[in-house]
């Protein structure tokens, strides 16, 4: 079993929809949770960075962490065609330890 599981998609939604992306994990020691966006032929870019449980909002993006269920989510409101990309979740036990990534979800926003 992988430490971090992420549905690869692809996920296709119409412009303006709310998108929900999710990851589950098995290591209860994970404390730091991240979401990255990766456009084709580019390096990943950090979207959201959260510590422990709870919600974090940044513009149209909201990250949620539920440590009791070992489940994290990224919500994108008012989705735009420019949000079409692969989204990767990642987590680590500390800010200085190794980082484990999910396999990524390919998202397509239809105009």
Partner 1 sequence: EAQVTQNPRYLITVTGKKLTVTCSQNMNHEYMSWYRQDPGLGLRQIYYSMNVEVTDKGDVPEGYKVSRKEKRNFPLILESPSPNQTSLYFCASKSRGGETQYFGPGTRLLVL
Q: How far apart are CA 86 and CA 73, in angstroms?
A: 15
Residue of 63, 76, 88, 91 that binds partner 1 (CB under 8 A)? 88
Q: How far apart are CA 29 and CA 75, in angstroms?
A: 24
Site mask, partner 1, residues 47-86, x = CB under 8 A? --x-------------------------------------
H/E segment holding residue 35: strand 32-38
Residue of 1, 40, 96, 111 that binds partner 1 (CB under 8 A)? 96
Name which of 70, 62, 61 is nearest 91 in CA terms: 70
Subset of residues 5 to 34 that bind partner 1, contact rule: CB under 8 A: 6, 8, 32, 34
Q: Looking at beta carbons only, is 41 or 111 nearer to partner 1? A: 41
Residues of this chain that interact with partner 1 (CB under 8 A) are 6, 8, 32, 34, 41-46, 49, 88, 90, 92, 95-96, 98-104
């Amino acid at each position: 079993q992988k430490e971090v599981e992420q549905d690869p998609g692809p996920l296709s939604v119409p412009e303006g929809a709310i998108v929900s992306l999710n990851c589950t994990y098995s290591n209860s020691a994970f404390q730091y949770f991240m979401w990255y966006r990766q456009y084709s032929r580019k390096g990943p870019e950090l979207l959201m960075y959260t510590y422990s449980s709870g919600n974090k909002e940044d513009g149209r993006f909201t990250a949620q962490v539920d440590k009791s269920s070992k489940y994290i989510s990224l919500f994108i409101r008012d989705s735009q065609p420019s949000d079409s990309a692969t989204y990767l979740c990642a987590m680590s036990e500390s800010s200085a330890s190794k980082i484990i990534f999910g396999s990524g979800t390919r998202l397509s926003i239809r105009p």
